[in-house]
Amino acid sequence: MNIAVVGAGIFGLAAALALRERGHAVTVFEQGRVPYERASSTDTSKTIRRLYGHNAVYVDLVERAAVKWREWDRRLPERIYVRTGQLQIEQSFRPGFRIHDSWQFLRARDPDIEILSIEDARARHPQFAYQESDVCLYDPWGGYLASGAAVVGLLRLARDGGVAVREETPVTDVSDGAGAAYVRVDGRAHAFDRVVVAAGVWIGRLVPGLARHIRPTRQEMVFIEPKDPDWLAACALPVWSVNPEVDGWYGHPLQREGWMKIANDLRGDTVDPDDARPVSPVFVEAVRDFVAARIPELARGAVVGSRACLYEDTPDRHFIIDWAPGSRSILVAGGGSGHGFKFGGAIGDVIADTLEHNDTGTGDFFRIGRRFQ
C-alpha cells in the first residue's frame, strides 16, 4: 500500500519504519525540521521503565520495545539507550499503590527487582537524602533514552530504508472517500491508500472528533550542572523518581551535555499546542527546594537551562491506536499521555498490525471503543 504518515515524532517514525519494513511505500510529512523543538519527543532524555502496576500490556510492550531500542542503539552512531537501573523512592507501600503492585507483578518475572532497606539505598545511591519513612524500589532493567538524538537517528534509518520524508511540510487536512485517503498540503490534496495521523498534541486539529479527548498540558523541566559531575554520573546514579504519584519528581543521571534533568510528572496547565511555553520562576524555585531536600550535592550546582514540553493526555492516559471515528483509511496513533516514548521500539508494529488488520498482541487496549463515553 501507499501510506502517508503525518508527524515525525516517535509514534510517526516508529510507524514509518515498521510499515516500510513490511514493504509498504511510506511518505512522512512533518511540519517542522527534525528534531522539531515543539514536538513532545524532542527532549534530551526520557525514562524507560517497566513499573506499570499489574498492567501486563504495558510491561510486555516495553520489554518488546527495549529489544528494538537496543538494536537501534547498535545501528546508530550516537548512544540512544542507556541502561542505568531505576530507583523509585516512595512513602507508601501497600496493595493498591503502584509501587507495591509493580513490585508484586515484576518479581514474579525477574528476581533482580528489589525493595532496598534505607541502609542499602544509602550505601548504593548516596546521592539522595533519604527519610526514614521512604520505601525504595530498585529495578536494574530501567534506564533512559536520548530522545532528541533518537528521533534524529530514526529519521535517518527511515530515509536510508526508503521512506520519503518531507520536513517543513504542514498538513492542513486529512480526509477520505472513494477508496482513498487524502493529505492536503499547500492547498493540494495528495491521495494515499491509508493515512496514519501521528501528530501528537495536534491530532485534534486533523481529527476533530478526537480533539476533546487529547488534552495538552505544559510540563516543565530544569537542567542543573553539578559542581562535582563524577558524584552524579550515570555509572553511579540510576534514573529516579521521588513520590511520583503524589509529588511528581523524577530525573535522569548526568547527560552528555554535562547537566542533569529534573522534572515533574504532575499535570501542568492545559494549553494550546501553539502557545508560547515559558518556564515559570515558581517552578525553578520548586526544583531548587526539592533538590536541596533530596539531592543536596546537586543543590551546589548551577541551573543552566529549562524547557517546557507538552503531555498529550487521553482521559484514561492510555494511547490511541485506532481508526479515526467513522473512517477505515485514516488511522490515529498517539495520546502518549506523558509516557509514550519508551514504547517506540514496539509501537510501530502495533500501528502497522492495526493498519493491516492483524493481531497486535495488545487486544483492544488502544482501541477507542467506548473508552471516552
Ligand X SMILES: Cc1cc2nc3c(=O)[nH]c(=O)nc-3n(C[C@H](O)[C@H](O)[C@H](O)COP(=O)(O)OP(=O)(O)OC[C@H]3O[C@@H](n4cnc5c(N)ncnc54)[C@H](O)[C@@H]3O)c2cc1C
- Contact call for residues 358 and 25 (beta carbons, < 8 A): no
Q: Return the closest-CA partner of residue 200 out of 11, 4, 2.
A: 11
Mapping DSSP to helix (H, G, I), strand (E, B) and coil, where does residue 228 land? coil
**Helix H or strand E encompassing 306:** strand 302-313
CA distance 40 to 313: 12
Contact range with ligand X by CB under 6 A, out of 51-59, 63-71, 116-124, 193-201: 193-201
Indicate whether 9 belongs to the interface with ligand X (CB under 6 A): yes
DSSP 8-state assignment for residue 270: B
Q: Give min distance, CB of 167 to ligand X, in A.
A: 9
CA distance 105 to 110: 9
Q: Residue 157 corresponds to which cell in the numbers above?
A: 534509518
**Helix H or strand E encompassing 347:** helix 344-355
Contact range with ligand X by CB under 6 A, out of 106-114, 118-126, 186-194, 334-342: 334-342
Indicate whether 332 belongs to the interface with ligand X (CB under 6 A): no
In this complex, which beta carbon is closest to ligand X, that of residue 249 or of residue 311?
Answer: 311
**Helix H or strand E encompassing 149:** helix 147-160
In this complex, which beta carbon is closest to ligand X, that of residue 228 or of residue 275?
Answer: 275
In this complex, which beta carbon is closest to ligand X, that of residue 12 or of residue 238?
Answer: 12
Q: Return the closest-CA partner of residue 148 out of 239, 49, 38.
A: 38
Contact range with ligand X by CB under 6 A, out of 131-139, 229-237, 305-313, 362-370: 305-313
Indicate whether 351 belongs to the interface with ligand X (CB under 6 A): no
In this complex, which beta carbon is closest to ligand X, that of residue 123 or of residue 211?
Answer: 211
Indicate whether 170 belongs to the interface with ligand X (CB under 6 A): yes
In this complex, which beta carbon is closest to ligand X, that of residue 221 or of residue 286?
Answer: 221
In this complex, which beta carbon is closest to ligand X, that of residue 132 or of residue 186?
Answer: 186
x/- letters, 22..51, toward ligand X (CB under 6 A): -------xxxx---x--xxx-x--xx----
Which residue among 142, 340, 345, 348 contacts ligand X (CB under 6 A)?
A: 340
Residues 6+ apart with CB under 8 A from 217: 267, 268, 269, 270, 271, 310, 311, 313
Contact range with ligand X by CB under 6 A, out of 69-77, 80-88, 195-203, 359-367: 195-203
Which residue among 216, 248, 336, 348 contacts ligand X (CB under 6 A)?
A: 336
In this complex, which beta carbon is closest to ligand X, that of residue 219 or of residue 327?
Answer: 219
Q: Give min distance, CB of 123 to ligand X, in A.
A: 27
Which residue among 53, 148, 251, 334 contacts ligand X (CB under 6 A)?
A: 334
Residue 235: Cβ-neighbour burial (10 angstroms; 0-12, 13-18, 19+): exposed
Which residue among 3, 5, 11, 53 contacts ligand X (CB under 6 A)?
A: 11
Q: Return the closest-CA partner of residue 37 out of 263, 290, 277.
A: 277
CA dihedral in degrees (266, 270, 275, 277; nearest 10)? -20
Q: What are phi and psi of 371, to 5 degrees?
A: -55, -40
x/- letters, 231..270, toward ligand X (CB under 6 A): --------------------------------x-------
Residue type, 308: A
Q: What is the side-by-side strand order in the sheet with 46-48?
A: 46-48, 143-145, 81-83
Which residue among 6, 18, 254, 330 contacts ligand X (CB under 6 A)?
A: 6
Q: How many CB atoms lie within 10 A of CB 93?
A: 15
- List residues binding ligand X (CB under 6 A): 6-12, 29-32, 36, 39-41, 43, 46-47, 170-171, 198-202, 206, 219, 221, 263, 309-311, 334, 336, 338-342
